[in-house]
């Protein structure tokens, strides 16, 4: 099994994905353990002094004005976890919880939080045992960290609340810890606060969305190329010299991908009559411009994610000179903005894909294809309602593209009077990514059927590889009406797990 070693810095996006999605094992480096012990020594020294220090010897948020005596500080840390574990709604996905736990551990190991080494080790032990705290959909405002989600995780560290075991069964956390020989932690000064104060949930979801969208944007270039081919469009608009004079990197990459897929096609540039088209419709001709803009948005979001991965997000933080200082680094605005940007780009990519699908089904605009790609139009409805499903998905994606980060709602008696709503931005982006996959799957299904209906014309070798692999995956070709949902589900799974990309790249080589 792959092992991720956590030091004081250097955690990568691939590390997060390995832990979240592939159950990679975690080890703490000697460097991290040394940094943890040093920072803890600073916190212990401050705790022994009579001067109030936020998070060490005071209450929290709007209650920070109260000085807490030493005999109540363990109770204070325990209470903040219990009271903040106030999430509601459906459970959050296992991979999201593992990502946020690992990212919190990453910050803890930076040596800026003042958490004891044994607490960090217990966090690693939980992940290695496959124990996943029950975290709920609602509760984070994306400021002061993803408080409620992280609190549910910290509650499990204390042996309280509920968690899912490696067998997928939800049990009392104390029972699960005991079954794996893990001792619950008793939190000391600052530790409860340090476990709750981070952008880890929204960052984890951003990193997973970036990985998924990287594949989806390549897949979208493929489906756009297939639609262009099925519509007998021209590939001249994909010429590198045209994109060089508008040098957006994503646009050039998308055009190059489409050109690679269409190499040696016998369909591009053909016409069903003697009146050749001067130009293809925008949804075909401008595919690289729209997908390319989304790719450039991905690049910006990846830069923000890398910066956040390199950050130690906590409040207060322990500085190398021994100071423990309050700060606002927990504010989720940088992450929230790009989560919203990605939802906007995904909605637009889905929208243009749906327009191409609709064009394939309309006999007045499909350049010789049968209505709705039906076998016997009128008796058969063909893919009419598949496009309805696609349109419903796109409509929802447009609603999901409304920015969450433009909203703010005050909390904590107006102490926390401006929040990022980054968690909400991340949650809706996950739905948008899921829906985009389905939208592209429907375009794939329609475009491949349309190409097969172009009798006497030979598709590009890469297109044929995609069609052959899709049919083997269970999505059938043209013919009389049949129960359509299983075919669409097969196309969705084929695109979602990367088989479409693999089939095409077996001919083209790696796409950009």
DSSP 344-389: HHHHHHHHHHHHHHHHHH-TTTTTSPPGGG-SSBTTB-TTHHHHHH
Pairing of strands 132-133, 162-164: antiparallel
DSSP class of 162: E
Beta carbons within 8 Å of 415's beta carbon, 6+ residues apart: 61, 62, 64
State the Rg of the chain over Cα. 26
Rounded Cα distance, 94 and 134, in Å: 9
Token pair of 398 as six digits: 């447009």
* CA distance from start to end of the chain: 30
CB 174 within 8 A of CB 159: yes
Beta bridge partners of 377: 380
Closest CA to 61 of 249, 196, 256, 260: 196
As a dihedral over the C-alpha atoms of residue 281, residue 287, residue 288, residue 294, rounded to 10 degrees, the angle is 140
Classify residue 411 by burial, with Cβ atoms within 10 Å: 0-12, 13-18, 19+.
Answer: middle
Rounded Cα distance, 292 and 239, in Å: 15
Annotation marks residue 54 as catalytic? yes
Question: Greatest CA span in the chain, whole angstroms?
Answer: 91
Question: In degrees rounded to 5, what are phi and psi of residue 169?
Answer: -95, 135
Phi-psi region of 421 (alpha: psi -120 to 50; beta: other; left: phi over 0): left
Pairing of strands 25-28, 3-6: parallel
Q: In what order do the strands lie in the sheet containing 162-164? A: 132-133, 162-164, 170-172
Token pair of 233 as six digits: 């469009």
Q: Name the residues annotated as catalytic.
A: 54
């Amino acid at each position: 099994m792959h092992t991720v070693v956590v030091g004081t810095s250097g955690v990568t996006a691939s590390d997060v994905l390995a832990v979240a999605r592939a159950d990679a094992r975690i080890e703490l480096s000697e460097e991290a353990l040394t940094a943890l012990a040093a920072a803890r020594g600073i916190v212990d020294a401050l705790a022994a002094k009579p001067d109030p220090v936020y998070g060490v010897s005071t209450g929290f948020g709007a209650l920070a004005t109260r000085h807490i005596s030493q005999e109540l500080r363990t109770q204070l840390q325990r209470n903040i976890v219990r009271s903040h574990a106030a999430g509601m709604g459906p459970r959050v996905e296992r991979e999201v919880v593992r990502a946020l736990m690992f990212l919190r551990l990453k910050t803890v190991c930076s040596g800026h939080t003042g958490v004891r080494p044994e607490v960090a080790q217990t966090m690693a032990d939980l992940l290695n045992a496959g124990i996943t705290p029950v975290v709920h959909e609602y509760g984070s405002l994306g400021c002061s960290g993803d408080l409620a989600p992280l609190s549910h995780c910290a509650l499990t560290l204390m042996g309280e609340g509920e968690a899912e075991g490696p067998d997928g069964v939800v049990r009392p956390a104390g029972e699960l810890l005991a079954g794996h020989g893990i001792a619950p932690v008793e939190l000391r000064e600052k530790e409860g606060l340090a476990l709750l104060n981070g952008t880890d949930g929204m960052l984890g979801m951003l990193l997973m969305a970036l990985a998924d969208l990287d594949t989806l944007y390549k897949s979208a270039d493929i489906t756009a190329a297939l639609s262009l081919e099925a519509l007998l469009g021209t590939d001249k608009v994909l010429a590198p010299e045209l994109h060089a004079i508008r040098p957006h990197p994503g646009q050039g990459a998308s055009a190059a991908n489409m050109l690679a897929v269409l190499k040696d096609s016998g369909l591009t540039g053909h016409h069903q009559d003697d009146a050749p088209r001067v130009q293809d419709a925008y949804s075909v001709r401008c595919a690289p411009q729209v997908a390319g803009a989304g790719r450039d948005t991905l690049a910006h979001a990846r830069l923000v994610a890398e910066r956040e991965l390199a950050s130690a997000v906590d409040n207060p933080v322990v500085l190398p000179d021994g100071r423990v200082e309050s700060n606002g680094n927990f504010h989720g605005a940088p992450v929230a903005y790009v989560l919203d940007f990605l939802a906007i780009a995904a909605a637009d990519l889905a929208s243009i894909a749906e327009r191409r699908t609709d064009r394939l089904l309309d006999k007045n605009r499909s350049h010789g294809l049968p209505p709705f790609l039906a076998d016997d139009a009128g008796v058969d409805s063909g893919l009419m309602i598949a496009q309805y499903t696609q349109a419903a998905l796109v409509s929802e994606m447009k609603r999901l593209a409304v920015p969450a980060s433009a909203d703010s709602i005050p909390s904590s008696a107006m102490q926390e009077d401006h929040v990022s709503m980054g968690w909400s931005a991340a949650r809706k982006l996950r739905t948008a990514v899921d829906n985009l996959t389905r939208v592209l799957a429907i375009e794939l299904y329609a475009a491949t059927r349309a190409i097969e209906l172009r009798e006497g014309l030979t598709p590009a070798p890469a297109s044929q590889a995609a069609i052959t692999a899709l049919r083997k995956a269970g999505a059938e070709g043209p013919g009389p009406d049949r129960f359509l949902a299983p075919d669409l589900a097969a196309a969705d799974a084929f695109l979602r797990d990367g088989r479409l990309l693999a089939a095409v790249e077996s001919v083209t080589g790696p796409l950009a």
